Amino acid sequence: MNEEESPPPEDLYDGPSKSQRKRDSKAITNLGSQLLQISDDQLATLPYANIIDAVMQCKKITKGNARKRQIQYIGKLLRHVDIEEIQLLVDRFDASSQSHVLLFHQLETWRDKLIQQDPKVMTDILSQLPQVDRQHLRQLTRNAITENNSAIEHQQDRPAIHYRKLFKYLKAESDNSGLIQSSTNPPE
């Protein structure tokens, strides 16, 4: 019997296995299909024009196999760029992601503290969202406080219009600023 010495197993490692590369490729393609769920305005924030064009074209395709090929093409384009920024964009607007949930909790906390007239919350908001219109934010807060007090006095269960407007304004400002709540920084 011809006995050859084989090198130790750690010297044979050439990188990820073919199966692992396929799993990674599939994950990136799935990320590309998630980009289809994002609105055109939100998609325009990506720095990759060719990916934006490919996603826009895919949104127009209705036939099954053609759409599948276009999604594969988007996945191919994504494999040649840094996907971290794309993943953050998807997480920001995907309601099932943890960063999206944490951002909503942060916005709800801010809204509630504004209505409770917490003096620290305004500086917290302005530090994280410096472009926010202070006067408009204060006006929305005053309207929500008045609405809340009126509902408590009259014991009415009418819809809280200004309460929702305050939240929508905070959400719009956070979307414009790109504020993303990390999973390691829970809301206060």
The pLDDT mean for the chain works out to 82
CA dihedral 93→96→100→102, nearest 10 degrees, is 170
Q: Which domain holds residue 63?
A: 17-93
Same domain, 165 and 116: yes
Same domain, yes or no, for 83 and 112? no
Residue 185 belongs to a domain: no
- Say yes or no: 89 and 21 in one domain: yes
Specify the pLDDT at position 179: 63
Band (72; pLDDT cuts 50, 70, 90): very high
Q: What is the number of helices (H) and of strands (E) in the chain?
A: 9, 0
Flag whether 68 is in a domain: yes
- Report in angstroms the alpha-carbon separations of 87 from 114, 133, 150, 170: 31, 29, 44, 23
Name which residue leads in pLDDT, 110 or 14.
110
Identify the domain boundary among 60, 93, 126: 93
Domain count, the chain: 2
Cα distance between residue 20 and residue 27, in whole Å: 11
Are residues 86 and 107 located together in one domain of the fold?
Answer: no
Let me know the angle formed at the C-alpha of 101 by 99 and 106, rounded to the nearest 5 degrees.
Answer: 90
CATH assignment of the domain containing 84: 1.10.60.30
Name the residue with higher pLDDT: 155 or 59. Answer: 59
Tell me which of 30, 63, 93 is where a domain ends: 93
- Whether 25 and 52 map to the same domain: the answer is yes
CB 179 within 8 A of CB 126: no
pLDDT band at 152 (very low <50, low <70, confident <90, very high): confident
Q: Is there a single domain that holds both residue 39 and residue 74? A: yes
Q: Which of 35, 41, 26 is nearest to 58 (CA)?
A: 35
The per-residue pLDDT for range 74-108, each reduced to its tens digit, is 999 999 998 888 888 887 777 667 777 888 899 99
Q: Both 86 and 72 in a single domain?
A: yes
Does some domain include residue 5?
Answer: no
Claim to verify: residue 109 and residue 82 sit in the same structural domain = no
pLDDT score of 66: 92
Q: Residues 82, 145: one domain?
A: no
Point out the domain boundary residue: 45, 65, 93.
93
User: Do 124 and 137 share a domain, yes or no?
Assistant: yes
In a domain, 11, yes or no: no
